[in-house]
Amino acid sequence: MKVLIAVDGSVYTRRMLDFLIRNFGANAEPPDFTVLHAVTRVSAHALTVLERSVMRHYYQDEAATVFRPIHRRFDKLGIKADFIYRVGNPAAVIATAAESGRFDVVIMGSQGSHALKRLVMGSVATRVMAQCKVPVLLVP
């Protein structure tokens, strides 16, 4: 089973990882995990002012900040996973990665890290469910 784990570093990501470890960690044959972080593209104006190498480092640093605690936790538990990041609209990035990577399921938190968007079910989660052709498991 190929599992795409969409993360944003929020408390909902931590809850989802708790669920994942409880429910998939004891399998005789562990799933093939890929951890994906969608880094939101900076504004078009910023792109005209900043060099590409500066932007590339910014995107890499943003992903590393989200991945670092997940790497530590997975290493401690002996869970193997690939870690990738993509730049763009998070819902589109997740849906595209799920389909192009031929994943069996996408697992993500039901809400993200933006406080204003947490008033209702996360807008990224809602858009992923609408755009994704792969089953999506949302963890509250």
Domain definitions of the chain by residue range: 2-139
pLDDT score of 22: 86
Mean pLDDT, residues 87-94 taken together: 94
Q: Among 8, 58, 12, 59, which Cα is nearest to 37's?
A: 8
| Burial (0-12, 13-18, 19+ Cβ within 10 Å), 7 | buried
Q: Is the pLDDT of residue 137 over 90?
A: yes
Q: Is the pLDDT of residue 69 over 80?
A: yes
| CB distance 111 to 118 below 8 Å | yes
Q: Is the pLDDT of residue 62 over 90?
A: yes
Q: Is the pLDDT of residue 118 over 60?
A: no
CATH 3.40.50.620 fits 2-139, yes or no: yes
Mean pLDDT of the chain: 86
| Burial (0-12, 13-18, 19+ Cβ within 10 Å), 123 | middle
| CB distance 95 to 128 below 8 Å | yes
Side chain identity at residue 16, one-letter code:
M
Pairing of strands 81-87, 32-39: parallel
Residue partners of 83: CB distance under 8 A and separation at least 6: 34, 35, 37, 63, 67, 70, 71
Better-scored residue on pLDDT, 121 or 11: 11
Mean pLDDT, residues 117-134 taken together: 78
Better-scored residue on pLDDT, 95 or 115: 95
Mean pLDDT, residues 52-73 taken together: 91
**pLDDT more than 90, % of the chain:** 58
Mean pLDDT, residues 95-104 taken together: 97
Instruction: Determine how many CB atoms are found less than 10 A away from the CB of residue 134.
Output: 18
- In this predicted model, what pLDDT tens digit does every residue of 6-53 receive, in sequence order? 999 899 899 999 998 888 766 667 789 999 999 988 766 666 666 777
